């Protein structure tokens, strides 16, 4: 039985498609290693006990159940925004709305969970749904501007993020602040109106289930529905998409709405899973992180959880390192950036990839039919 | 409200607020002219601000602080160039990534050097001096605004002129423009495309450095995490609307600066809510982008009412 | 006459396996105007790109005045006095004429441009070669023929002795072409040597001293223009005499497509199509013939819904197509094999599967709530791979792994397998290897036999006579000839139609002299 499994894995990697996957995985691995090397250099330069610090960075996340739980919790927002980015990028759009949508989604979630006049578990679920829908509507703005007027969605969504942020902050400070709380916060959310914990001691919430579910749904959308197909073709070759009859304008709008909605939903889910009040006073950065996750996951929603866990692991490592040593946790942002830069670099190890591809193509041609 | 807008203070403050945006927009302009828009201006400004602040504190010399800020700006541009041009990472992706890197690095370095994560207010920078031009500064209303400003403000006005001259009257400027408009044609006549782009990006880095230095050595007297707060991106938006003409770009950036100041001033003077006012610059940018896109799409340049305002185009004779 | 350039056994194979130049020998005398003739894809452009340093040959040598040359780039070529005036201009539109002329060799004092001096020199150059231009105008405001003049001057400014022109009259009107020819004669008298890549027989006769004819990558010979007739040139270009008997299978059934008074404008404001009317019936193949760019492609654009800004009517089996989306038109039963298969017809970034079922996905029935009928689609894909003998060992592989010919097959499979009522095949076998060509012909004949209607656009006369039942010759956006009986065709007259020298009279059949 085991042999059969190995055999099929072995065979897969000997096909041309498997080879390309192998090449990409290799490139990702090299990029990760390079990033870690950069990080180690920075640590070595600034820490008094570099080796000790590096060891903490790498091993602390696994040290005890609580830190392991932290990895999962950290991964939750990243999965949501990562899937959102996957869908948008596959559709050819570089839309940054995930950042603002996530923030607003959390805000909306926190408020509605308390105020919705529905029993028990329906409250957080309803709040999440509402957050998703509202952010989807917001996501329509940069999408429509791009489709109709060709306004660059990157800049417009960026501007919109700041606008969303300040509008939320206004509502936060002036309308929804809880007067009984010590510092700026929304009303306290009772346990019955929150997403239940899977493991309360280690703060692992059911939100991870929603996150994983979103990843699966995202994949199904892209690869098993006709709208996902249309989105992918539009993103990969818009001329071809139009030629086959796909309505590219609709596609462009759809993926951006979905991306924003998922981010909004994710924000609500994350907040209702792990917090009792909304207390953020700045954009948390999960939206931008979604890009890193998506890139490591090759824009495949099913791989997003793995990438998210990886980044979550790095994050926890950095936090622990900051706690237990003299190196601040911002190192992890540097690592993330380096990873994107190298993985995104098409010329990075491209020579190797190209030679492989050529070898495969000529092999295919030999095996092919009677041609010149 | 009107007396607020048309006051002398408004003019001065508008320029004060707009200067970093103008620097950012010039950085965006030169990089866009060369065909590779550098979105990393935001992050570069952050690191440059940090460097300028700290070095000027350490050496108590604003000159060294300024120079180090510029150096950092150039360095960041070169890193961007390496990734976007050599490794061929998509330039938008590179920009995003480097912005993350720069912000993270800025906080990191701040902590490592000073031990604080928020700002360097306990280690104030050596400020870049103001310069007052004697007679001209006494002209009412515009006098103080234009002739009693900081060194960097004069520099930004000078940059507008220099940039225009370089782009239109030097060999380098022509190479930059041709590389940006049609790199294939440029390389077909032997212009080194990548090298030219790198030079342009270096200049972009200089502007980012100046913008950053301004923030921590003129606008405030220290570096604060997140002090750039989107000005790099607003600069990019200003560039998009300035259509590649330094003068127009500067005007749009000034406009954004005005909106920015209005937001702050309106809160204290007129009592509008702080958070909502903060949305103004971004709403304005968005509106401007939309108007620009509408203009482009419906080709308003040919609409008779609009055409009246535009400079006459030279049609080829024969 | 002295031999200026000698190219020996030039062989060039492109990355996708296409053999463009097959051991070609070529020589150029100094002071002549030399034509390189051949159909599209014969290898003319490639040979000259090799001479200009844009392409490196796989093997072969080049000699300039008996000195061997290694050309690594156009800069090398220019250094030796070889200049090329490209078909797609290498101009920076935002810069002025003068700036474009001096690009890369600007006159300056330590970087500061000396604009007056450059303008002066540009004007002087223009006067010397009798080219009137507004040297201060931006290139984007110039007409096409003016832009071409700038390209020519660019090359002359860099002291090119040999000037290579790639299809120079493709973008010019008759008057502009005549003007160009005058310039070229003056240049020749001024001791320049000129090479023109062209497939226009009349031009060769009017202008050139000698002509080299290429076909399918081989050099068929160099002849003095005065010693060869247009018919002989055409025969060599095409391959053989137009056959006495041609494929006339297929019977005309009902009218499938009706086009009436189609008129539409091109980007420059010119009329791309003027009052075109045609009809296509079930069971026939109609060929839209003529030199490329005379309206055939524009007609296709209107038919498939790529553009809807035309006047006139187009109706498929009675239903008007104007204003309908591309999707709607497709579902009415129009298949389209585009000329540009790699960018338009296929998505090389995707899998074979994604490409094969592109049209079927959009037909997913509503009851599925958007979920694709995956099993059915996979089955369709497999069937297509088998039927059309696409050489691959898995449908989920990337399309770019296939050879060029197989990619074409994928496009053909996708379009043909749905049994369209009307198939538009635009240059269906261009650039395809021999094996796939016969296959595609068979498929098209099969479609015709089962009652489909086909519009064929082709510049390959072999192909046209193998497949077409009727031929409509396009020139300058109008149909100038309608040939219904292919057996009675006169090659000489056909050529005249294509060159716009003659128009068939309204009754058709009896050609009238212009």
- Per-residue pLDDT tens digits for A119-130: 777 888 889 999
Q: Are the Cβ atoms of C90 and B314 closer than 8 angstroms?
A: no
Once rounded to an integer, what is the mean pLDDT over residues B38-50?
91
Dist CA A120 CA A118 (whole Å): 7
Residue ranges making up the domain that contains B93: 18-243
Q: Mean pLDDT highest for which of B20-34, C202-216, C279-293?
A: B20-34
Chain C partners (3+ C-beta pairs within 8 A): A, B
Greater confidence (C171 vs B283) lies with B283
The pLDDT tens digits of the residues spanning A249-273 come to: 999 999 999 999 999 999 999 999 9
Candidates B24, B89, B299, partner chain A, best to mutate (most A CBs within 10 A): B89
Cβ neighbours around B92 below 10 Å, total: 17
Are C354 and A233 in contact (CB < 8 Å)?
Answer: yes
Q: How far apart are the first and last CA of chain C?
A: 40
C440 domain residue, yes or no: yes
Which range, A331-345, A357-371, C329-343, is most confident?
C329-343
Residue C339 in domain = no
pLDDT category at C362 given cuts 50, 70, 90 is confident
Average pLDDT over residues A13-28: 74
Question: What average pLDDT does the segment C465-481 reach?
Answer: 86
The arithmetic mean of pLDDT across residues B205-228, rounded, is: 88
Give pLDDT, residue C510. Answer: 33
Asked whether residue B251 is assigned to any structural domain, the reply reads no
Give the mean model confidence (pLDDT) for residues A123-150.
91
Distance from the Cα of A44 to chain B's closest Cα (Å) equals 12
CB-nearest to A370 from C347, C374, C435 is C435
- As a whole-number percent, the residues of chain C with pLDDT over 70 amount to 90
Please give the residue of chain C at the shortest CA–CA distance from B185: C90
More confident residue, B11 or B253: B253
What would the mean pLDDT of C168-180 be, rounded to a whole number? Answer: 77
pLDDT at residue C17 in the model: 65
| A149 contacts on B by Cβ (under 8 Å) | 290, 293-294, 296-297
Cα nearest neighbour of A339 on chain B = B97
Quick: pLDDT tens for A286-317.
888 888 899 888 899 999 999 999 988 888 88
One domain, residues C405 and C425 = no
| Neighbouring C-beta atoms of residue B23, cutoff 10 Å | 32
Does residue B137 lie within any of the structural domains? yes
Distance CA B167, CA A58 (A): 51
Residues of C in contact with B316 (CB under 8 A): 133-134, 137-138, 141-143, 146
The CB-side HSE value for C52 (13 A sphere, CA atoms) comes to: 23
**B316, C134: Cβ pair inside 8 Å?**
yes
Q: What is the pLDDT of residue B221?
A: 84
Mean pLDDT of A200-215: 89
* Listed residue (A35, A39, A63) closest to A50, CA to CA: A39
3-state class (DSSP) for residue B316: coil
SS3 category, A29: helix
The model's confidence at residue C268, banded by pLDDT at 50, 70 and 90, is: low
The partner residue sitting opposite A337, judged by closest CB among B97, B230, B279, is B97
B35 CB neighbours in chain C (<8 A) are none
Residues 6 or more apart whose CB falls under 8 angstroms from that of B108 comprise A42, A46, A328, A330, A331, A334
* C92-109: pLDDT as tens digits: 888 888 888 888 888 888
Of the pLDDT bands very low, low, confident and very high (cuts 50, 70, 90), residue C244 is very low
* 3-class secondary-structure state, position C91: coil
Least confident residue range of A123-137, B241-255, C383-397, C429-443: C429-443
- pLDDT tens digits for A45-63? 777 787 888 888 888 888 8
* C479 & C438 share domain: yes
pLDDT at residue number B165: 93
pLDDT 10s digits, C21-79: 888 999 899 889 999 988 766 788 888 888 888 888 888 889 988 888 888 888 888 88
- Count of the separate structural domains present in chain B: 1
Q: Is the pLDDT of residue C197 over 70?
A: yes
Model confidence band, residue C495 (pLDDT cutoffs 50, 70, 90):
low
- Quote the pLDDT of residue A121: 79
Nearest CA-CA distance, residue B153 and chain A, Å: 26
Note whether C108 contacts B171, CB cutoff 8 Å: yes
pLDDT at residue B189, as a whole number: 81
pLDDT (mean) for A67-95: 92
Q: What is the pLDDT of residue C127?
A: 85
The answer to whether residue B140 scores a pLDDT higher than 80 is no
Residue where a domain terminates, one of C223, C238, C253: C238
Question: Does B270 reside within a domain?
Answer: no
| Cβ count within 10 A of residue A224 | 13
C372/C448 same-domain check: no
What pLDDT does residue A94 have? 86
Supply C65's token pair.
Answer: 């005045």
Residue of B nearest to A166 (CA): B275
Interchain proximity B89–A158, CB inside 8 Å: no
Could you tell me the pLDDT band of residue C434, with boundaries at 50, 70 and 90?
low
Give the best residue of B21, B37, B40, B87 to mutate against chain A (max A CB count within 10 A): B87
Residue predicted with more confidence, C258 or C251: C258
How confident is the model at residue B6, as a pLDDT? 66
Write out the residue range of the structural domain in which residue C512 sits.
Answer: 240-333+421-514
Task: Judge if C464 and C406 occupy the same domain.
Answer: no
> A356-370, B123-137, B239-253 — which one is most confidently predicted on average?
B239-253
Q: Is the pLDDT of residue C513 over 70?
A: no
Residues of C in contact with A230 (CB under 8 A): 361-362
Q: What is the pTM of this model?
A: 0.79
Residue of A nearest to C405 (CA): A371
C327 touches chain A (CB under 8 A): yes
Helices (H), B125-245: 142-147, 151-169, 171-181, 183-188, 193-214, 231-242
B149-185 per-position pLDDT tens digit: 788 888 899 999 999 999 989 989 999 999 999 898 8
Q: Tell how many helices (H) and how many strands (E) occur in chain B.
A: 14, 2
The answer on C223 and C269 residing in a single domain is: no
CA terminus-to-terminus distance, chain B: 55
Tell me whether residues B89 and A160 touch, CB distance under 8 A. Answer: no
pLDDT value, residue A91? 92
C-beta separation of C211 from C233 below 8 A: yes
Residue C243 has pLDDT above 60, yes or no: no
| Closest CA of chain A from C189, distance in Å | 45
Residue C213: phi and psi, rounded to 5, are -110, 125
Nearest to A330 among B94, B104, B276 (CB): B104
Output B279 or C486, whichever has higher pLDDT: B279
**Mean residue pLDDT across chain C:** 83
User: Is residue B214 within 8 Å of residue B73, measured between CB atoms?
Assistant: no
DSSP string covering C12-78 = EE-TTS-EEEEEEEEEEETT-EEEEE--TTSSHHHHHHHHTTSS--SEEEEEETTEEE---SHHHHH
Structure confidence by residue, pLDDT tens digits, C14-28: 766 677 888 899 989
Enter the ipTM.
0.81
Q: Which residues of A87-109 are buried (b: 16+ CB within 10 A; e: fewer)?
A: bbbbbbbbbbbbbbbbbbbbbbb
pLDDT of residue B318: 32
* Neighbouring residues of B63: CB distance < 8 A, sequence distance ≥ 6: none
pLDDT higher than threshold 60 for residue C511: no
Average of pLDDT values for C348-362? Answer: 90
Q: Nearest residue of B to residue C85 by CA position?
A: B188
pLDDT digits (tens, 9 = 90+) for C276-317: 899 999 989 999 987 777 888 889 999 998 888 888 889 998
User: Distance from first CA to last CA of chain A, Å, rounded?
Assistant: 44
Domain count for chain C: 3
Residue to mutate among B40, B84, B96, with most A CBs inside 10 A, is B96
Sort out which chain B residues have CB atoms less than 8 A from A46's CB and list them: 108, 112
Place of tokens 């990337």: C398
Mean pLDDT across B21-50 = 92
Residue C259 domain-assigned? yes
Residue A372 confidence class, pLDDT cut points 50, 70, 90: very low
Which chain C positions have a beta carbon within 8 Å of A363's beta carbon?
A: none
- What single-letter DSSP state applies at residue A278? -
DSSP C338-352: -S-IIIII--TTSBH
C338 falls within a domain: no
User: Are C350 and A236 within 8 A, CB to CB?
Assistant: yes
- A73 in Cβ contact with A199 (< 8 Å): no
- pLDDT at position A370 over 60: no
Is the pLDDT reported for residue B92 higher than 50?
A: yes
Check CB contact of A20 with chain C, cutoff 8 Å: yes
Evaluate if residue C491 carries a pLDDT over 70.
no
Mean per-residue pLDDT of chain A: 85
- Choosing among A159, A184, A282, which should be mutated to test the B contact, i.e. which has the most B CBs within 10 A? A159
Put simply, the answer to whether C92 touches B178 (Cβ < 8 Å) is yes
Question: Does A360 contact C at CB distance below 8 Å?
Answer: yes
User: How many CB pairs below 8 Å do chains A and C form together?
Assistant: 120
CB A361 to CB C403 under 8 A? yes
End residue of a domain, out of C389, C417, C445: C417
Instruction: State what percent of residues in chain A have pLDDT above 70.
Output: 90
- Per CB-CB distance under 8 Å, the chain A contacts of C307 are none
Give all chains having 3 or more CB-to-CB distances under 8 Å with chain A.
B, C
Q: Name the band, by pLDDT with cuts 50, 70 and 90, for residue B138.
A: low
Residues 6+ apart with CB under 8 A from B37: B28, B31, B91, B95, B236
Contacts of B311 (CB under 8 A, 6+ apart): none
Task: Tell me if chain A has a CB within 8 Å of the CB of C307.
Answer: no
For A314-339, write each residue's pLDDT tens digit: 888 888 888 887 777 777 788 888 88
Domain extent listing, chain A: 72-313
∠ CA C356-C358-C359, nearest 5°, is: 110
C389 touches chain A (CB under 8 A): yes
Contact in structure between C317 and C256 (CB atoms under 8 Å): yes
Whole-angstrom Cα distance, residue C424 to residue C337?
6
Bridging pattern class, strands C67-69 and A197-199: unpaired
For residue A180 the two structure tokens come to: 């009984």
pLDDT reported for residue B274? 77
pLDDT band at C508 (very low <50, low <70, confident <90, very high): very low
Residue A224: which of C338, C372, C434 has the nearest Cβ?
C372
Q: Do B276 and A150 touch (CB under 8 A)?
A: no
Nearest residue of A to residue C17, measured between CA atoms: A372
Three-class SS state of C261 = strand
Which pLDDT value is given to residue A197?
A: 86
Instruction: Looking at the structure, tell me whether residues C200 and C316 fall in a common domain.
Output: no
Find the CATH number of the domain harbouring C429.
3.40.50.300
Question: Do both C216 and C328 map to the same domain?
Answer: no
Q: Do the strands C218-224 and C108-109 form a parallel or antiparallel pair, or are they unpaired?
A: unpaired
Least confidently predicted of A98-112, A242-256, C236-250, C356-370: C236-250
A residues 232-251 lying closer than 8 A (beta carbon) to C: 232-233, 236-237, 239-247
The beta-carbon neighbor of C137 closest among B170, B185, B316 is: B316
Distance, CA of C114 to CA of C74 (rounded, Å): 26
Given C417, C451, C468, which residue is the final one in a domain? C417
Q: How confident is the model at residue B12 (pLDDT cuts 50, 70, 90)?
A: confident
């Amino acid at each position: 039985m085991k042999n059969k499994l190995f055999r099929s894995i072995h065979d897969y990697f000997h096909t041309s498609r498997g080879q390309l996957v192998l090449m990409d995985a290799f490139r990702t691995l090299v990029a990760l290693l390079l990033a870690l090397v950069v990080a180690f250099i920075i640590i070595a330069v600034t820490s008094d006990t570099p080796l000790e610090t590096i060891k903490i960075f790498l091993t602390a996340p696994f040290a005890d159940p609580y830190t392991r739980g932290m990895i999962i919790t950290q991964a939750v927002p990243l999965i949501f925004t990562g899937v959102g980015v996957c869908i948008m990028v596959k559709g050819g759009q570089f839309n940054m709305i995930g950042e603002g949508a996530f923030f607003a989604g959390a805000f909306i979630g926190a408020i509605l969970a308390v105020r919705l006049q529905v029993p028990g578990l329906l409250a957080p679920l309803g709040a999440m749904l509402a957050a998703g829908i509202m952010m989807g509507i917001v996501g329509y703005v940069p999408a429509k501007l791009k489709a109709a007027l060709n306004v660059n969605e990157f800049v417009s969504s960026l501007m919109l993020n700041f606008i969303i942020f300040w509008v939320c902050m206004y509502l936060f400070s002036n309308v929804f602040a809880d007067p009984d709380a010590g510092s700026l916060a929304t009303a306290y959310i009772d346990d019955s109106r929150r997403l239940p914990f899977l493991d309360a001691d280690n703060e692992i919430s059911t939100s991870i289930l929603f996150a994983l579910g979103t990843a699966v749904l995202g994949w199904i959308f892209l690869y098993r529905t006709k709208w996902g197909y249309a989105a992918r073709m539009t993103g990969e070759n818009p001329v071809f998409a139009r030629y086959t009859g796909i309505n590219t304008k609709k596609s462009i709008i759809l993926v951006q709405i979905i991306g924003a909605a998922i981010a909004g939903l994710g924000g609500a889910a994350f907040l209702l899973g792990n917090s009792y009040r909304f207390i953020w006073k700045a954009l948390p950065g999960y939206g931008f992180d979604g890009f890193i996750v998506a890139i490591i996951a090759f824009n495949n929603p099913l791989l997003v959880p793995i990438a998210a866990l990886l980044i979550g692991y790095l994050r926890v490592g950095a936090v622990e390192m900051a706690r237990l040593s003299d190196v601040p946790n911002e190192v992890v942002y540097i690592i993330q950036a380096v990873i994107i830069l190298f993985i995104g670099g098409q010329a990075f190890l491209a020579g190797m990839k190209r030679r492989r591809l050529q070898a495969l193509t000529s092999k295919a041609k030999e095996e092919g039919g009677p041609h010149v | 409200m009107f007396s607020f807008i048309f006051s002398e203070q408004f003019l001065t403050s508008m320029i004060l607020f707009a200067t970093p945006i103008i620097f950012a927009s010039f950085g965006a302009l030169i990089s866009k002219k060369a065909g590779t828009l550098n979105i990393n201006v935001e992050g570069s400004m952050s690191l440059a601000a940090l460097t300028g602040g700290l070095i000027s504190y350490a050496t108590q010399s604003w000159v060294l602080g300024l120079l180090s800020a510029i150096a950092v700006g150039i360095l960041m541009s070169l890193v961007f160039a390496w990734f976007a041009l050599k490794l061929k990472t998509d330039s938008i992706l590179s920009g995003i990534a480097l912005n993350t890197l720069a912000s993270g690095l800025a906080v990191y370095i701040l902590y490592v050097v000073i031990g604080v994560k928020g700002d360097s207010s306990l280690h104030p920078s050596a400020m870049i001096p103001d310069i007052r031009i004697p007679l001209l500064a006494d002209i009412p209303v515009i006098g103080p605004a234009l002739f009693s400003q900081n060194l960097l403000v004069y520099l930004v006005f000078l940059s507008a002129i220099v940039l225009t001259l370089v782009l239109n009257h030097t060999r380098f400027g022509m190479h930059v423009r041709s590389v940006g408009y049609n790199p294939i044609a440029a390389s077909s006549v032997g212009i080194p495309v990548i090298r030219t782009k790198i030079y342009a990006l270096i200049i972009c880095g200089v502007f980012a450095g100046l913008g950053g230095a301004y923030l921590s050595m003129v606008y405030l007297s220290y570096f604060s995490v997140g002090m750039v707060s989107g000005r790099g991106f607003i600069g990019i938006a200003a560039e998009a609307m300035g259509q590649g003409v330094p003068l127009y770009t500067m005007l749009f950036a000034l406009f954004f600066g005005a909106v920015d100041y209005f937001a702050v001033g309106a809160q204290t003077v007129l009592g509008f809510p702080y958070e909502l006012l903060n949305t103004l610059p971004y709403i304005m940018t968005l509106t401007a982008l939309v108007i620009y896109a509408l203009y482009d799409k419906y080709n308003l340049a040919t609409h008779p009412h609009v055409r009246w305002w535009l400079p006459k185009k030279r049609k080829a004779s024969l | 006459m002295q031999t200026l350039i000698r190219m020996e056994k030039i062989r060039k194979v492109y990355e996708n396996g296409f053999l463009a130049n097959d051991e070609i020998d070529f020589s150029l005398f100094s002071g002549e105007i030399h034509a390189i003739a051949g159909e599209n894809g014969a290898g003319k452009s490639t040979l000259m790109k090799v001479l200009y340093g844009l392409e490196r040959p796989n093997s072969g040598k080049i000699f300039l005045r008996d000195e061997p040359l290694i050309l690594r780039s156009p800069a090398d070529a220019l250094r030796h006095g070889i200049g090329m005036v490209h078909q797609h201009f290498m101009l920076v539109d935002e810069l002025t004429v003068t700036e474009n002329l001096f690009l890369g060799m600007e006159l300056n004092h330590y970087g500061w441009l000396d604009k007056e001096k450059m303008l002066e020199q540009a004007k002087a150059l223009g006067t010397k070669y009798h080219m009137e231009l507004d040297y201060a105008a931006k290139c984007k405001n110039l007409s096409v023929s003016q832009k071409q003049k700038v390209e020519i001057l660019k090359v002359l400014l860099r002291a090119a002795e040999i000037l290579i022109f790639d299809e120079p009259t493709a973008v010019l009107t008759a008057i502009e072409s005549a003007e160009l020819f005058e310039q070229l004669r003056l240049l020749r008298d001024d001791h320049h040597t000129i090479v023109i890549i062209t497939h226009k027989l009349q031009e060769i006769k009017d202008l050139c001293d000698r002509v080299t004819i290429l076909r399918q990558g081989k050099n068929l010979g160099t002849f003095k223009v005065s010693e060869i007739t247009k018919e002989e040139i055409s025969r060599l270009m095409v391959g053989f005499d137009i056959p006495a008997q041609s494929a006339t299978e297929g019977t005309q059934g009902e009218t499938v497509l009706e086009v009436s008074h189609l008129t539409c404008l091109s980007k420059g404001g010119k009329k791309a199509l003027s009052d075109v009317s045609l009809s296509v019936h079930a069971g026939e193949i109609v060929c839209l013939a003529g030199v490329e760019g005379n309206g055939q492609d524009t007609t296709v654009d209107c038919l498939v819904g790529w553009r809807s800004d035309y006047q006139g009517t187009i109706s498929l089996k009675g239903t008007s197509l104007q204003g309908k989306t591309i999707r709607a038109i497709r579902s009415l039963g129009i298949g389209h094999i585009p000329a540009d298969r790699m960018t338009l017809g296929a998505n090389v970034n995707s899998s074979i599967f994604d490409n094969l079922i592109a049209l079927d996905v959009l037909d997913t029935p509503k009851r599925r709530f958007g979920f694709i009928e995956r099993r059915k689609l996979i089955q369709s894909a497999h069937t297509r791979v088998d039927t059309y003998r696409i050489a691959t060992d898995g449908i989920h592989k990337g399309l770019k792994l296939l050879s060029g010919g197989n990619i074409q097959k994928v496009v053909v499979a996708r379009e043909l397998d749905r049994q369209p009522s009307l198939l538009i095949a635009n240059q269906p076998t261009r650039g395809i290897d021999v094996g796939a060509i016969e296959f595609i012909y068979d498929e098209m004949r099969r479609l015709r036999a089962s009652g489909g209607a086909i519009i064929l656009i082709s510049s390959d006369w072999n192909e046209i006579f193998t497949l077409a039942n009727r031929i409509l010759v396009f020139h300058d956006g109008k149909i100038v000839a309608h040939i219904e009986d292919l057996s009675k065709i006169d090659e000489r007259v056909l050529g005249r139609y294509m060159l716009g020298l003659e128009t068939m009279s309204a009754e058709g059949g009896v050609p009238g002299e212009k």
